């Protein structure tokens, strides 16, 4: 189990490094098109740094507001608070803020920037449809995201995807406004630059590549959180049963959006939980591993 966790961490780090490489390449491509490689690279890094700063401090508040989450009343949701407190003591992490979302679909997510500044949100559908051991497995999964700093990793991944999208959009619009030229009209060397076509192709492909990489990071972190949750509860059947219920439930989580889809314990938007029936490209951009794969992995532990 520890080997699986270590392998997932290494792959996640490698993918995040790949994000930075893609961002730098996009900056260089912008530089080729405007005739100054340094300016393009610096602009890309500055935009990503500003977005990362804002995301680091405000991502949790934004996610909770978008999902229409409200603080869970300690009296009304006493069982939930007690369960979270018990798992936090067992896992050695501070108790996060606990929120409830009025949504019939069973789902949950964690958000924040570190274990001391984190929150867990669960839907009313999850509270109604899960028994105690199943709910414990789901909460342990979300606490694992907090303990493993997945909440920060995914915030940074989403931020980098957004930075790539913004930089490429600006560059392509600049080309459009400039009549499709790749450099200043008086700069013949840049106009004849053989790398210009490569730069244009990269600007078109980069957003898709970045989104695929973000989805890959998300899938890795979901697998890691499943394994870590079992380590925390020491009872694999609880999470297995919860995932089986999620697989059988096709209710779409209306409180979710494309921007927050990666945060939830299972794919909240499609209403299709068996991704084995879906095509290659859907799987490539899917932020969650198929539930059947997750269940099979837990049964091997």
Asked if 287 contacts 219 with a C-beta cutoff of 8 angstroms, the reply is yes
Torsion sign, CA atoms 110, 49, 285, 221: negative
Return contacts of 53-57, CB within 8 angstroms, 24+ apart. 55/155, 55/156, 55/158, 55/159, 56/113, 56/152, 56/155, 57/113
Catalytic residue among 85, 128, 136, 142: 142
Q: Please give the torsion angle defined by the CA atoms of residues 64, 67, 73 and 78, in that order, rounded to the nearest 10 degrees.
A: -100
Q: Does 293 participate in catalysis according to the annotation?
A: no
- What phi and psi values does residue 250 have, to the nearest 5 degrees? -100, 15
Measured distance CA(60)–CA(289) in Å, rounded: 24
Helices 150-177 and 132-147, packing angle to 10 deg:
60
Q: Please give the torsion angle defined by the CA atoms of residues 255, 256, 260 and 262, in that order, rounded to the nearest 10 degrees.
A: 130
User: What are 98's two structure tokens?
Assistant: 């606990």
User: H/E element holding 95?
Assistant: none
Measured distance CA(119)–CA(268) in Å, rounded: 19
Measured distance CA(232)–CA(26) in Å, rounded: 41
Question: Which residues neighbour 227 within 8 Å (Cβ) at sequence distance 6 or greater?
Answer: 1, 4, 5, 8, 297, 298, 301
As annotated, the active-site residues are 142
């Amino acid at each position: 189990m520890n080997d699986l966790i270590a392998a997932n961490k290494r792959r996640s780090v490698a993918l995040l490094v790949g994000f930075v490489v893609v961002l730098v390449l996009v900056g260089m491509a912008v530089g080729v098109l405007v005739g100054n490689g340094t300016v393009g690279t610096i602009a890309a890094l500055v935009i990503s740094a500003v977005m990362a700063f804002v995301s680091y401090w405000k991502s949790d508040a934004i996610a909770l507001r978008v999902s229409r989450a409200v603080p869970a009343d300690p009296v009304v949701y006493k069982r939930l608070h007690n369960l979270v407190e018990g798992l936090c003591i067992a896992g050695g992490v501070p108790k996060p803020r606990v929120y409830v979302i009025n949504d019939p679909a069973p789902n949950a997510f964690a958000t924040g920037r570190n274990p001391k500044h984190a929150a867990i949100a669960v839907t009313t559908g999850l509270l109604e449809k899960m028994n105690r051991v199943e709910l414990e497995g789901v909460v342990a999964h979300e606490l694992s995201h907090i303990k493993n700093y997945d909440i920060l990793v995914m915030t940074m991944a989403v931020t980098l995807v957004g930075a790539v999208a913004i930089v490429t959009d600006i560059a392509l619009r600049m080309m459009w406004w400039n009549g499709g030229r790749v450099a200043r009209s008086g700069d013949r060397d840049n106009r004849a630059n053989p790398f210009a076509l490569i730069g244009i192709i990269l600007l078109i492909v980069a957003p898709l590549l970045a989104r695929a990489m973000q989805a890959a990071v998300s899938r890795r972190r979901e697998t890691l959180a499943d394994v870590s949750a079992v380590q925390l509860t020491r009872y694999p059947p609880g999470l297995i049963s919860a995932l089986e219920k999620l697989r059988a439930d096709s209710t779409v989580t209306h409180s979710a959006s494309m921007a927050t889809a990666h945060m939830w314990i299972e794919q909240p938007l499609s209403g299709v939980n068996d991704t084995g029936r879906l095509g290659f490209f859907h799987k490539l951009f899917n932020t969650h591993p198929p539930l059947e794969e997750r269940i099979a992995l837990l049964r091997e532990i």
